[in-house]
Structures are given as structure tokens and as C-alpha cells.
């Protein structure tokens, strides 16, 4: 079937996952990430049985919502220590928290999905492994804890 640019032909294909941007971690060359993982949320399950229930089993009800940590991977650039500087400010709940926005773009460069991480802070930074016979780019991993996740379209 030929692509006639109709509304149906623009909505039947899933989005590509390689065109994204991470904002809120400060400007500069260090915000070009090559991988973002962990954009998940779950609702804890509460099992409950009322004392005078005739059913000899529990019912399941939704409880508190919980979010995981988001992991960001990026190449290390010369004199780019801003994540380590941010991480070193952690002192007994006095960390500088920030709002991180992850945008997924369509082929024309317009944002199609946006994930907003509220009150994010670095919980773990993993430096690269070093190999004398390797020729890969140097990759740094930043893990962010956050409080709430908001997802928006368009």
C-alpha cells in the first residue's frame, strides 16, 4: 500500500526510539545521552479481606504508586565533571533536586511524548571500564532517583 500521507498512514507506525533529548541537567555538551532506561511506574497491591466477608479469600486493591530509578548513559567529554560535582553535593538530604524532562521526537523534530521526573537527584554514577585493547567510546552511567513521573503526549 502506498503512503498517501493521510491521517491513517501517519498513525499506524510505532514511534522510533532513537530521537530524544534530556533537559534539566544543565546545558552544554554533556547532555547528549545515548541511552535512557527505567521509565517505569507501578502500583503496589493491597490484599484485604473484610472480617465478615463470606468469601474465604482476599480482594486486591490499588495502593501506593512507586517509581524506579532512571539510568542515563552518555559519552564522557573533556573537562565534563558536572555530574560528579552534582553528586558530591549530597549531604544528609541537602541535595539540589531538579526537574528532568525527557522528550521523544517524531521525524519532523516535534515532541511526541514527554516524561517529566520531578525532584530528581543523582543516586549513583558509574564511570567507564578501561581496556588497553578497546576502541569504544568512553561511557558514563548516571542513575537518578525521583519522586513522581508525569507522561504527556504532543
- What's residue 82's pLDDT? 82
Q: First CA to last CA across the chain, in angstroms?
A: 27
Domain residue limits, the chain: 16-153
Among 147, 31, 10, 15, smallest CA distance to 86 is for 31
* Across 41-45, 75-79, 100-104, 147-151, least confident range: 75-79
Separation between Cα atoms, residue 37 and residue 143, nearest integer Å: 9
16-153 falls under which CATH superfamily? Hcp1-like (2.30.110.20)
pTM comes to 0.80
Sign of CA dihedral 131, 135, 138, 139: negative
Q: Is the pLDDT of residue 11 over 90?
A: no
Amino acid at each position: 500500500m502506498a503512503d498517501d500521507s493521510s491521517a491513517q498512514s501517519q498513525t499506524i507506525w510505532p514511534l522510533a526510539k532513537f530521537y530524544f533529548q534530556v533537559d534539566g541537567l544543565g546545558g552544554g555538551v554533556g547532555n547528549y545521552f545515548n541511552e535512557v532506561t527505567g521509565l517505569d511506574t507501578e502500583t503496589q497491591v493491597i490484599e484485604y479481606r473484610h472480617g465478615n466477608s463470606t468469601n474465604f479469600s482476599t480482594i486486591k486493591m490499588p495502593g501506593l504508586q512507586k517509581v524506579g530509578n532512571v539510568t542515563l548513559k552518555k559519552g564522557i567529554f573533556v573537562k565534563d565533571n558536572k555530574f560528579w560535582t552534582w553528586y558530591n553535593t549530597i549531604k544528609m538530604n541537602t541535595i539540589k533536586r531538579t526537574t528532568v524532562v525527557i522528550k521523544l521526537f517524531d521525524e519532523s523534530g516535534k515532541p511526541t511524548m514527554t516524561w517529566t521526573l520531578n525532584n530528581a537527584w543523582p543516586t549513583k554514577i558509574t564511570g567507564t571500564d578501561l581496556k588497553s585493547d578497546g576502541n569504544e567510546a568512553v561511557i558514563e552511567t548516571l542513575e537518578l532517583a525521583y519522586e513522581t513521573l508525569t507522561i504527556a503526549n504532543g
